[in-house]
Each structure stands twice: as C-alpha cells, then as structure tokens.
Amino acid sequence: MSVSIVWFRNDLRLSDNPALTKALESGHAVVPVFVLDGETDGVRPPGAASRWWLHHSLQALDSSLRRLGSRLIVRRGPAAQVLGELVTECGAASVFWNRAYDRGCRERDTRLKKALADRGVAVESFKANLLFEPWEVTTQSGDAFKVFTPFWRACRAAPPPAATLPAPKSLTAPKSWPASESLVSWRLLPTSPDWAGGIRAAWTPGEDGAQQRLTSFLDDALEDYRDARDLPAVEGTSRLSPHLAFGEISPRQIWQAAMTQGASAATEKFLSEVGWREFAYHLLFHNGDLAERNFRPEFDAFPWADPQEALVAWQGGRTGYPIVDAGMRELWATGWMHNRVRMIAASFLTKDLLIDWRQGERWFWDTLVDADLANNATGWQWVAGCGADAAPYFRVFNPVLQGEKFDPDGDYVRHWVPELAHLPNDTIHRPWAAAVPAHVYPEQIVEHGAARNRALAAFQSIKKSA
C-alpha cells in the first residue's frame, strides 16, 4: 500500500487539519511525523518554556493518534534531510504539510518541495493556521497593509472563512512503522532545577485542553470581554494564545465558535484580537526580518542604552514598580503574562530603561509558553514605537497610573508581589510613598518622570536626523 507522510509543525491537532484531511482522502496509509529541527535554514528553535509545552503537546497528539490506530513518529535533525530519509524508508508517494509564514520556514519549504518533486513525490501545503493568507488581503493598490484598522476592515469585508474540517475517525497504518526516537530522549523538560511547577499548574497542553479553554471562555467570559480583558486580576481573556501558537486549535475554529454566540460588541472585540494575530503574520510574511530589524528604519539610529543590571532587574521582577514586577513574576511562574501588563512591562524596558526591544523580545521568546515569532516581534515593535501602526513615540506608559487604572484594588500586585500585600490601595502601586524598606521590596531603579524625559529626548534625536 502507498504511504502519505503528514508533517506536523505548528498544527498539533487532528481536527480542522487540512494536511491530515488530504492524506486521509488520498486513500494511502498515513505516517504522521514531527521533526525537531535545529537552528538550520534560519528557523529559530523554541525557547525553554515552549519546549516544555512542546513535549506535552506532542504527547497529547500521539495519544490522540493512537486512539485512531496510528502513532506519531518523532525525529530530530534538519527537516529536509529527515523527511527525505522517511520518504525512502516508507516508500512514500506523497508528503503533506500546513504552511508556516516566517522567512526561514518558507525558504526551507520551497527547497524541500522541489527536492521531493524531483524524486517523483507529490507535495502539497495548505492554509491551516490563519484565517486569510498574507497575499489574500491587500490594499487597493495591491500592497501590504501597514495599519491594522484598514487591514481588519478588509478582512471583515472578505468572504468569511470556510467551514472547519472534522477530525478523522480512523487512520490507516502502514504495513510497518519507521523507527521513531523517544520524546523523553529530547530532554525538552527542565530537570535541574525543575522550574515548571507553576506552568504545570496553570495549563493543559493539547487539543483537548484547547477546546476546553475555548468553551470555558465563551461560556463564562465573552460577555464581559470588552471591559474585563484589560484587568489582569480577573480571568477576562481567552488565554488561548499558547494553544494557537502550537496549532492545537485553529483560528477558524475559534472564529466559528465565537460567531455561534451571536453578534455583539463583545464578540466583535474578541474577533478583532484574533485579527491582530492575523495582522502580525501579515507583517512577518512581508517583512521577513521583523524579529531582528526595526520596521521603521529611522530607529536604526536610536540611542539604546545597555544597562545590564537594569535588564536583570526587569527580568527578575525587581524594578521597584509593582505592576511591572507583578507581570514579570507572573511570566516566570506561569509562562504567560496578561496582555495589558505585557504592554506596560515592554514600555518600561524600552522607554524608561531605553533598552533595545530585541532584548525584551528574546526574553519573552524564552519564557513565554505562547512564544510566537509574528506576535512577539509585532508587539515589541509596536510598544517601542519602531513598528507598523506603532504607538506614537510620545506615548510612554506610566507604570503607576497604569497600575492604578487597571488594578485599582491591587489584587494582581498582591498576588504576584506578596511582600506588598499589606499596603492599602492608595499606596500599593507607589510603595515608596509608604516608605517600604529596600530589604522588603526594591527601590525604583529609575524615576519615571526623569526616564520619560530622557526617552522623549532620544526620540527627538532620531526625528532630527531622519
């Protein structure tokens, strides 16, 4: 019997998986494969928190496949080499995968398609992880969008996403399975020390966990989403981002589930946040170096500082600003940070400390379970002021006022910065006013007013030289 290989990547699910559906329709035996590629062909390897998630997501996918009479073959090495070897071992007639959109993956996939086609192997890739392909939504002149609002307006005016695909009920196994490496041997999980206890308590990786998270959000939180999404002390967001990052759920599934809730301002706001993810991928596709270079080239002359002690204090949640420190500690403990607090923490790094946004992007890449090249780079460049549709240079988040506005009762800070839990609401976001000793909670590493003036002067310097 002929064999079709399905190459899983950031699409670790059975339902609404076009590559898997195509393999099933081929009538061939199906060999599901995941390849752990090193930093080859410009493909960035996952960070530490993402490796933890990847281990458990692959376990969940393998369990789901085994219930269908199949299994997941895992191998490590350059993807083109590994897949070429598997084609030979299985006598595969076809290879299917779902598209990735960063430049490294696209260039590798193009070379791989040609190499396999030259061997007479049928190859096809599919749209599975976006609502709209980056080349499907353009300005009237055919250019890529650089501003979110008209981009999303064009998306909403386009035909809606197609219906989702069902998960297969069974998969035909090959006569003999190719060898698979042991997932445990990849050592994706931390051991010495095991720092993942908080992540384990907070998350359930896998397709089932993703569907449970979506159902819980739609049932319990969507109605209040417009207001609650900015409050870090409450469960006001979907928390679907890591499931999306690993493709345990598709944006099309989220879209259609949200639409069943009926038209409302809350639903539209939630879908627009899904739209921001689409916009981020749109930007990454059209700007392949988005995670390395300023989208706005005038920022190449920006006078970034390099205060390593301040960077370490920021990473460790010891800046002396409670809302920033709470966010950085939440990130370290759970592998996730509330989006409002991400903006505050990113603004503090890039504008109060004048540290290059790429330092922050790399830290988030290593510590976030939802680390996603498009979202991460777009978000950091937006806050720093150097990205597409960026926050204006004079917008410098005041961490005290932001804390008082979005955590008015101090519940978020009290949870993540327990040494301040005894403070009343009127001083919990400004502990220096309560004379909290430095051995209890660190002093401010910068004074925000002075730091803001320094940032504005730096922005003015590049405006004059532009």
pLDDT of residue 215: 98
Asked about 339 being catalytic, the answer comes back as yes
Active site residue: 136, 304, 419, 432, which one? Answer: 304
Q: Starting from the edge strand earliest in sequence, which strands make up the sheet with 29-36, in order?
A: 73-76, 29-36, 3-8, 92-98, 122-126
Distances (CA, A) of 463 to 48, 254, 297, 339, 456: 38, 42, 11, 29, 11
Active site residue: 136, 273, 404, 419, which one? Answer: 273
- The arithmetic mean of pLDDT across residues 367-378, rounded, is 97
Active site residue: 339, 398, 419, 432, which one? Answer: 339
Question: Whole-model pTM above 0.85?
Answer: yes
Residue range 401-423, pLDDT digits in tens? 999 999 999 999 999 999 999 99
Distances (CA, A) of 363 to 2, 268, 345: 45, 32, 12
Compute the C-alpha angle 26/31/36, nearest 5°.
Answer: 130
pLDDT of residue 465: 61
Asked about 304 being catalytic, the answer comes back as yes
Residue range 215-246, pLDDT digits in tens? 999 999 999 999 999 999 999 999 999 999 99
pLDDT of residue 41: 64
Query: What does the mean pLDDT of the chain come to?
Result: 96
Active site residue: 276, 404, 419, 432, which one? Answer: 276
Residue range 251-267, pLDDT digits in tens? 999 999 999 998 899 99
Q: In the chain, what are the domains?
A: 3-128 (3.40.50.620), 130-160+208-286 (1.25.40.80), 297-461 (1.10.579.10)
Query: pLDDT grade, residue 436 (50/70/90)?
Result: very high
Alpha-carbon span 294 to 316, nearest angstrom: 26
- The arithmetic mean of pLDDT across residues 312-321, rounded, is 98
pLDDT of residue 307: 87
pLDDT of residue 389: 83
- The arithmetic mean of pLDDT across residues 82-94, rounded, is 97
Active site residue: 7, 97, 380, 416, which one? Answer: 380
Reply yes or no on whether the pLDDT at 39 is more than 70. no
Query: The tokens of 239 are what?
Result: 């928390």
Active site residue: 357, 363, 365, 416, which one? Answer: 357
Query: The tokens of 433 are what?
Result: 């006013």
Give the number of C-alpha atoms closer than 13 A to the C-alpha of residue 313, restricted to the C-beta side: 21
- The arithmetic mean of pLDDT across residues 109-113, rounded, is 96
